Structure 1
Amino acid sequence: MTAFHFSFDLAHAGLWAQNFYADPFWTWQRVAIVSLFLFCAGLGQAVAARQAVGWPRFWRRWAQVAGAALLVSAGSAFMFPNSWIYFGVLHGMAAMLLVARLTARCGGWLWPMGALAIASKFIAAYALSMSASATFFNQKYVNWLGWITQKPITEDYVPIFPWLGVLWWGMAAGFWLLQRYPQCLQGAAPRPLAWLGRWSLPYYLLHQPVLIGLVSAFAWARA
């Protein structure tokens, strides 16, 4: 993620000619990064459910994610006023964490539920392409569902569908590992990874401003 954003910042500063919006080399990296991000979040929800984490602790963490999403919206509106982030990965995460919490007891059903959530994206795109309803679902106040035929103009877009399916698969994998190979999700991690895991949200929020500042300073000095 850091390498991807650093590359994006170089292109945005005019230091590297790359198309991050259309080049499959970059767009598929984004898909892989977001998929891993949400899959790991699903794993975490499985661990939290197995440890019977209470609602008060859940709401504290959820408030942090939702607050961080608002900060991303504000920062992106300042930097990209015509393509600001109104439903990016943290916005999607806040919504999906609520769904994950409420479906934690579904157990083995999470696998087919995830498949259906992912498939619904493509089924809806096909159905809407032949329907007058397509323009309705493309509108900003409902396109966060993901059932669109035209991608909105925004710097980060992680709608509920199909990405909820990835998080559900992460939960299902987490429950499966906890039942069959619990040692995989227990024990001490290497110190650098443990630090990044403990402070993942602050790192996510701060790494881009730091990278943008460094790239901008380099571009200014170079000019």
Structure 2
Amino acid sequence: MGGKVSRLDWPDALRGLAVLLMMVFHSAYDLNHFNILQLDLLHSDFWPAFQKVIMTLFVGVAGVSLALASRHGLKWPRFWQREAVLLASAALVSAGSYWLFPTSWIFFGILHFMVLASLLAVPFLRLGGWNVLLGVWFLALPWWFTDPFFNAAGWQWVGLGDVVADTKDYAPLLPWFGILLLGVSVGRYVEDCLVCQRPLPRLPVVRGLLWLGKHSLAVYLLHQPLLMAVFWALSNVIPDVTGS
């Protein structure tokens, strides 16, 4: 996507931070799933908020990157290539989750959202400051309007139902499209921000975050199967870990 632009460090670093936090969250989920630890991931105050922070980072940085990549006009072949990769990855996640969790498989997770939201965001890329208002509006809409109609399986992706979908990863269009548009607004601002364009210091932790940010999709697809294999081994091959 986009014209010839230099790649800024801080979006990659923030994306890398999101990946790192995601691995922490999924490690907690797997430890709980295999009964190594007893964690209340659904009803505690911390873990649901932690998950929303991770999603906000992912979606917000996606909006920033989309704005930066389109400032000289979209390169449509590259845009469609990225969409195809995301769509194939989303399909892989759905298939794998259905095999493991057939009653709560991922039908509209973060990758599914990225496919649809990136496409829907294209007309918004040149709206300038209006994206702040529209982003806030989309963000607030599910707070004051819900309807049982959107509880139906074919409409849960919208995010306006009054019942939370039973799925392992749920990133409905609303309110997250609002976060994406706010990210687009930030991306438009940093185009002319000289401080934002400075490279980050190449400290070891920064290098690690940059690497994770630049390889976020591959890490996203591979980390959970690897983590599950490790924690399965801890709970079954080394039973003393769980005290069984």
Q: TM-score, normalised by structure 1?
A: 0.91
For residues 114 and 185 of structure 1, the distance between their equivalents in structure 2, rounded to whole angstroms, comes to 24
Counterpart of 1:20, as a letter, is L
For residues 32 and 220 of structure 1, the distance between their equivalents in structure 2, rounded to whole angstroms, comes to 32
For residues 67 and 110 of structure 1, the distance between their equivalents in structure 2, rounded to whole angstroms, comes to 29
Moved over 6 A (4+): none
In the TM superposition, 1:169-180 aligns within 5 A as: 169-179=182-192
Greater RCO structure (CA 8 Å; 6+ sep): 2
**Matching of residue 184 in structure 1 with residue 196 in structure 2:** yes
Aligned residue pairs: how many?
214
Per-residue deviation, 1:192? 2.6
**Matching of residue 122 in structure 1 with residue 119 in structure 2:** no
For residues 135 and 30 of structure 2, the distance between their equivalents in structure 1, rounded to whole angstroms, comes to 33
Q: 1:75 to 1:199 in 2, by over 3 A?
A: same
Provide structure 2 residue ranges, at least 5 long, that are not aligned to the other structure.
1-21, 240-244
Q: Which moved more, 1:193-202 or 1:68-77?
A: 193-202
In the TM superposition, 1:82-101 aligns within 5 A as: 82-101=103-122
For residues 138 and 215 of structure 2, the distance between their equivalents in structure 1, rounded to whole angstroms, comes to 30
For residues 150 and 168 of structure 2, the distance between their equivalents in structure 1, rounded to whole angstroms, comes to 19
**Matching of residue 150 in structure 1 with residue 150 in structure 2:** no
Q: Deviations over 1:128-153 (max 9, x none)?
A: 3xxxxx2x211110111000100011
Of 49, 52, 59, the match for 2:70: 49
**Matching of residue 206 in structure 1 with residue 230 in structure 2:** no
**Matching of residue 79 in structure 1 with residue 100 in structure 2:** yes
SS of residue matched to 1:141: helix
SS of residue matched to 1:211: helix
Q: TM-score, normalised by structure 2?
A: 0.84
Higher share of residues assigned helix = 1
Q: 1:185 to 1:38 in 2, by over 3 A?
A: farther
Identity between Structure 1 and Structure 2 (%): 37
Of 147, 158, 164, the match for 2:177: 164
Per-residue deviation, 1:188? 6.5
Q: Identify the residue that residue 151 of structure 2 maps to in structure 1.
A: 138
For residues 48 and 185 of structure 1, the distance between their equivalents in structure 2, rounded to whole angstroms, comes to 14
For residues 218 and 2 of structure 1, the distance between their equivalents in structure 2, rounded to whole angstroms, comes to 17
Provide structure 1 residue ranges, at least 5 long, that are not aligned to the other structure.
129-133
Q: Identify the residue that residue 131 of structure 1 maps to in structure 2.
A: none
Q: Identify the residue that residue 29 of structure 1 maps to in structure 2.
A: 50
For residues 116 and 124 of structure 1, the distance between their equivalents in structure 2, rounded to whole angstroms, comes to 12
SS of residue matched to 1:107: coil
